């Protein structure tokens, strides 16, 4: 058999650091997004690496082509450049579906039928009996997981009857499968010179949604699959996603995906000291641009 030739370009690509900026086009970009995008660009340039842009538009009701056009226009105006093609998650549902089917086969997810109202009533009932219901790091009550014990026949009957449901991760089964403590490599600061080990605590989120009946993925599932598929070596994103990384590490482990290193950067806060949201019109990039701000002004405003 012929020996494979050493291919220096392929070898170089393997060590090329890959960064990504992954906005959701469900509103206008604000200063927080600008900081994240520009920081990714700066780190990729310094490492002589790649910068990818991924449009996270699986929520087909909230994400629109108009918002996406606005995102692209704002990023170009800021001076960001990225490798083409842009990956648009809504174009890859078949790929997510295949992975979801694997999780279903391996009994790591289950169909969860409780509506929001039923969840609320269940939790209120439990709290009335004097028990504080556990909440996730965002303050949302954990899913009661009552229907995890539903017999297969009953699940099939409800699905056949078109009862609404979401696929939820059976976090206990998943942790048992992985069978070890999970951690990830977190950079200490934006020089990306030193790292520390961060503990993943996916149980803190309970049985998270992995896919919906009509959308075969969720934020967590799509993000880990795409980061792996796109060869992302460095995930640089806001501190608000720090503890969600625990869920993503668990999914990576279950699906045998490589693990990137992470840096969760500081958040740009509003005048009231709170996290910026897409509804803050005075920190929107388009608004600032129309008011006469230049890309350099934006860099200064976010401290870059
Ligand atoms: N699409 C997510 C957002 O806009 C970011 C996901 C990520 O960077 O992992 O908040």
Residue pLDDT, tens place only, 67-77: 999 999 999 99
Counting residues of the chain whose pLDDT is more than 90, the rounded percentage is: 86
Q: For residue 278, what pLDDT is reported? A: 62
Does 181 reside within a domain?
A: yes
Does 123 reside within a domain?
A: no
Does 68 reside within a domain?
A: yes
Q: How far is the CA of 3 from the centre of ligand 1 (A)?
A: 43
Q: For residue 228, what pLDDT is reported? A: 98
Residue 195 in this model has a pLDDT that exceeds 80: yes
Query: How many domains, the chain?
Result: 1
- Give, for ligand 1, the residue of 37, 86, 223, 262 to mutate: max count of ligand atoms closer than 8 Å to Cβ: 223
- For ligand 1, which residues put their CB under 6 angstroms from it? 22-24, 56, 223, 237, 241
Q: For residue 131, what pLDDT is reported? A: 84
| Mode of pairing for the β-strands spanning 83-88 and 183-187 | unpaired
Residue 52 in this model has a pLDDT that exceeds 50: yes
pLDDT band at 146 (very low <50, low <70, confident <90, very high): confident
Q: Which atom of ligand 1 is nearest to the CA of 33?
A: 4
Does 268 reside within a domain?
A: yes
Cβ count within 10 A of residue 296 = 10
Q: For residue 3, what pLDDT is reported? A: 45
Q: How far is the CA of 33 from the centre of ligand 1 (A)?
A: 10
| Max Cα–Cα distance, the chain, nearest Å | 73
Domain containing 20 — which CATH number? Answer: 3.40.50.620
Q: How far is the CA of 114 from the centre of ligand 1 (A)?
A: 27
Residue 156 in this model has a pLDDT that exceeds 90: yes
Does 142 reside within a domain?
A: no
Residue whose CA is at the smallest distance from ligand 1 atom 7: 22
- Give, for ligand 1, the residue of 219, 236, 242, 246 to mutate: max count of ligand atoms closer than 8 Å to Cβ: 219
Q: What is the pLDDT of residues 256-268, one digit of tens each?
A: 999 999 999 999 9
Q: Which atom of ligand 1 is nearest to the CA of 248?
A: 9
Alpha-carbon distance 89 to 219, whole Å? Answer: 10
Which residue range forms the structural domain that includes residue 191? Answer: 8-108+165-301
| Mean pLDDT of all residues belonging to the chain | 92
Average pLDDT, integer, range 225-233: 98
Does 119 reside within a domain?
A: no
Q: Which atom of ligand 1 is nearest to the CA of 223?
A: 9
Average pLDDT, integer, range 151-160: 95
184 touches 202 (CB < 8 A): no
Query: Burial letters for 278-292: b for 16+ Cβ neighbours within 10 Å, e otherwise?
Result: bebeebbbeebbeee
- Give, for ligand 1, the residue of 24, 71, 86 to mutate: max count of ligand atoms closer than 8 Å to Cβ: 24
Residue 172 in this model has a pLDDT that exceeds 80: yes
Q: How far is the CA of 112 from the centre of ligand 1 (A)?
A: 25
Alpha-carbon distance 2 to 178, whole Å? Answer: 39
Q: How far is the CA of 244 from the centre of ligand 1 (A)?
A: 11
Evaluate if pTM is beyond 0.85: yes
Q: For residue 281, what pLDDT is reported? A: 66
Q: How far is the CA of 162 from the centre of ligand 1 (A)?
A: 31
pLDDT band at 1 (very low <50, low <70, confident <90, very high): very low
Does 259 reside within a domain?
A: yes
Does 30 reside within a domain?
A: yes
Q: What is the pLDDT of residues 87-126, one digit of tens each?
A: 999 999 999 999 999 999 999 999 999 999 999 999 999 9
21 touches 80 (CB < 8 A): yes
- C-alpha distances in Å from residue 31, one per residue of 18, 24, 98, 237, 267: 23, 15, 37, 13, 10
Alpha-carbon distance 150 to 154, whole Å? Answer: 6
């Amino acid at each position: 058999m012929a020996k494979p030739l050493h291919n220096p370009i392929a070898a170089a690509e393997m060590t090329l650091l890959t960064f990504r900026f992954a906005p959701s086009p469900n509103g206008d970009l604000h200063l927080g997004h600008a900081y994240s995008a520009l920081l990714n660009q700066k780190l990729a340039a310094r490492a002589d690496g790649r910068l990818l842009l991924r449009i996270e538009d699986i929520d087909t009701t909230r994400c629109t082509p108009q918002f996406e056009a606005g995102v692209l226009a704002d990023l170009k105006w800021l001076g960001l450049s990225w490798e083409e093609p842009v990956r648009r998650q809504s174009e890859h549902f078949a790929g997510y579906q295949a992975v979801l089917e694997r999780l279903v086969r391996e009994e790591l997810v289950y169909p969860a039928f409780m509506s929001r109202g039923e969840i609320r009533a269940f939790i209120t009932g439990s709290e009335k009996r004097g028990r504080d219901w556990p909440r996730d790091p965002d303050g949302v009550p954990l899913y009661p997981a009552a229907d995890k014990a539903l017999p297969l026949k009953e699940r099939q009957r409800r699905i056949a009857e078109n009862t609404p449901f979401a696929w939820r991760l059976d976090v206990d089964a998943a942790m048992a499968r992985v069978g070890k403590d999970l951690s990830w490599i977190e950079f200490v600061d934006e020089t990306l010179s030193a790292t520390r080990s961060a503990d993943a605590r996916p149980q803190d989120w309970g049985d998270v949604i992995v896919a919906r009946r009509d959308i075969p993925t969720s934020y967590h599932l799509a993000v880990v699959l795409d980061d792996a598929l796109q060869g992302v070596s460095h995930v640089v994103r806001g501190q608000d996603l720090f503890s969600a990384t625990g869920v993503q590490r668990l999914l990576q482990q279950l699906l045998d995906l490589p693990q990137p290193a992470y840096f969760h950067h500081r958040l740009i806060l509003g005048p009231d000291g709170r996290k910026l949201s897409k509804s803050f019109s005075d920190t929107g990039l388009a608004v600032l641009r129309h008011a006469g701000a230049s890309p350099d002004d934006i860099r200064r405003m976010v401290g870059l």
